[in-house]
Amino acid sequence: MKKKLAVFLAIVLFGSVPAKVDAAVSQVYLGGETVAIQGDYEGVIISGMYDFKVEEEWISPAMQSDLEIGDKIIAVEQSPVENLEDLYQVLSINLRKNADYAVTVIRDGTTLQKTLRVYYLEDEKLFKTGFYVKDKIKGIGTVTFYNPVNHSYGALGHEIMENDLGKIAEISAGSLFLASVEAITPSTPHQPGEKNCLNTLTQIGSVLKNTAYGLYGHYTLLDPSKQLITVGSQQSAHEGEAYIYTVLENQSIVPIKIMITEITLQDSPSIKGISFDIIDSVALEAAGGIVQGMSGSPIVQDGQLIGAVTHMVTSTPQKGYGIHIEWMIQQSLSLY
């Protein structure tokens, strides 16, 4: 689930002519697995700043540099930088005690030439710039489906956010790994819980797209016991009992009974097309309702896949929202 997310109890109607499920995708393999997500940035991204002391003088990067939080460093001294290791190696090769380095950055889609002031502390054998940088973003979520038409998958049902920057994470590549749920911190009103997971290091796919309507890539490993399920349309979904499929312990996918309370027909994508309450006593006892890590859990009704869990209502954790599955199918079909 999205962290620190306050959900308003309102649903917007987007029109009376719902989109149709693509005729080429009538069946998919049902997901439900908890996965560890590793997304890679293009270059290294500046995620924050700090002040530090050099020879009794306080250094402030915000005062000395025209670099900004969110800039992606893709080259230093004309040498390509793809990750933190590259950055360290380039600085080591061009070692100067306290000096300006020419850097190439991407800011809001524009490539710029900037200067980075780097201090080398000999006693500590350490470079300091006053910038926090990272080359990856990690998270936990759930796979919704595997699309056999083009061997793609859909997961999460919403974007991975770059919390430091307050915007969607610009992921250029990445990997999806099976995860094992070691414990669950239950949700309570205004305090979302979470799945506490261990990465099994079993890679099952790539990460290619991080969108407002989910995470997508190609799967490279599929459980042979997976069964195909019919893809349902918005019109086939209705108020009443349904199930979400997710993991509460280890790697076992279990059905959790829910009550769908409202279906909103849409003619354009939205992550809140299905409103529901969890009514499963086991899930309520184990998790208190919806927890972070359940995003993407498939919603099944009348034997059809109709959507995926996207949000919880923070004041009432057993209440949640889901996205209509057709919006996720559309995203997955772009991966050819």
Higher pLDDT among residues 170 and 22, named by residue: 170
Least confident of 94-103, 184-193, 195-204, 282-291: 94-103
Under 8 Å between Cβ of 246 and 294: yes
In the predicted model, is pLDDT for residue 241 greater than 80? yes
DSSP string, 132-179: EEEEEEEEEEEEEEEETTTTEEEESSSPPEETTTTEE----EEEEEEE
In the predicted model, is pLDDT for residue 294 greater than 90? yes
pLDDT for 319-334, tens place per residue?
999 999 999 999 999 8
In the predicted model, is pLDDT for residue 56 greater than 50? yes
Ramachandran region, residue 125 (left: φ > 0; alpha: ψ -120 to 50; beta: rest) = left
In the predicted model, is pLDDT for residue 84 greater than 60? yes
Higher pLDDT among residues 2 and 260, named by residue: 260
In the predicted model, is pLDDT for residue 12 greater than 70? no
**Residue 98's pLDDT band (cuts 50, 70, 90):** confident
Closest CA to 9 of 266, 323, 301, 262: 262
Architecture of the domain defined by 27-40+137-333: Beta Barrel (2.40)
pLDDT at position 159, please?
93
Share of the chain above pLDDT 90, in %: 72
pLDDT at position 125, please?
76
Average pLDDT, the chain: 89
Number of neighbouring beta carbons within 10 Å of residue 197: 21
pLDDT for 302-321, tens place per residue?
999 999 999 999 999 999 99
Higher pLDDT among residues 335 and 259, named by residue: 259
Least confident of 87-91, 220-224, 258-262, 284-288: 87-91
Q: Give dist(CA 31, CA 60) in Å, integer.
A: 48
3-class SS at 333?
A: helix
User: Partners of 167 in the beta sheet?
Assistant: 162
What are the boundaries of each domain within the chain? 27-40+137-333, 51-129
In the predicted model, is pLDDT for residue 221 greater than 80? yes
Q: Going by CATH, does the domain composed of 51-129 fall within 3.40.50.300?
A: no
pLDDT at position 194, please?
97
